[in-house]
Structure 1
């Protein structure tokens, strides 16, 4: 089990706490310090069953300044998240061939 985690995000901290309370010991990936690869992010999207646009934090300044109102392909959206990892919604928990975005954090219980 992995959690893509931003320790500065309250929802991400709550998600990690839910896993720990359930006696899970996930691999914690601070994706801001250790960015994910293109293939890894594409794999996460496949496990989530969503298009890349649904994983993007659209209220981030970088999104509004650089990408909003542009018609970007799936590949371009993934590349934007790799270049600017703050754009990735968090937390994401991956367990086997399934994944969930912890928004709200209680959704993480669905994957435990």
Structure 2
């Protein structure tokens, strides 16, 4: 299992604590220090069944000056913008080894990905 996190984020710390309590092993990716490439974002979005703008944090997107239409014609621009401005990516993103992937901001999402690892 891999978790993309920002250690300063309370939701990320909650997710790590839940994984630790469940006894699942995981790899941490500090995505602010090691930003995902557009291709990696594309892969994660495919597993999440979401569009790039669906995982964009509104305030951070605005702060980064990302003002793109939310449509298929601008999808590649969104991927590039999020890769270049990782702070604008929602967190934590957790991917289980079986491909189950969630934005782990609530207990139900955390439970789903932890159960996939069990």
Q: Partner of 2:59 in structure 1?
A: 59
Matched, 1:80 2:81: yes
> Within 2, Cα distance between the matches of 1:21 and 1:106?
15
Matched, 1:46 2:43: no
User: Superposed, which structure 2 residues align to 1:1-112 within 5 Å?
Assistant: 1-60=1-60, 63-65=61-63, 66-68=65-67, 70-71=68-69, 73-95=74-96, 96-112=98-114
Shift of 1:67: 2.1
Tell me the TM-score normalized by structure 1: 0.90
SS at match of 2:13: helix
> Within 1, Cα distance between the matches of 2:107 and 2:78?
24
SS at match of 1:111: helix
Tell me the TM-score normalized by structure 2: 0.86
> Within 2, Cα distance between the matches of 1:71 and 1:48?
21
Q: Which residues of structure 1 form unaligned runs of 5+? A: none
Structure 1 segments of 4+ aligned residues over 3 angstroms from their partners: none
Q: Which residues of structure 2 form unaligned runs of 5+? A: none
Q: Number of residue pairs matched?
A: 109
> Which structure is higher in helix share?
2
Shift of 1:111: 1.3
Q: CA RMSD in A?
A: 1.3
SS at match of 2:69: coil
Is the Cα–Cα contact under 8 Å of residues 14 and 105 in structure 1 kept in the other structure? no
Shift of 1:106: 4.5
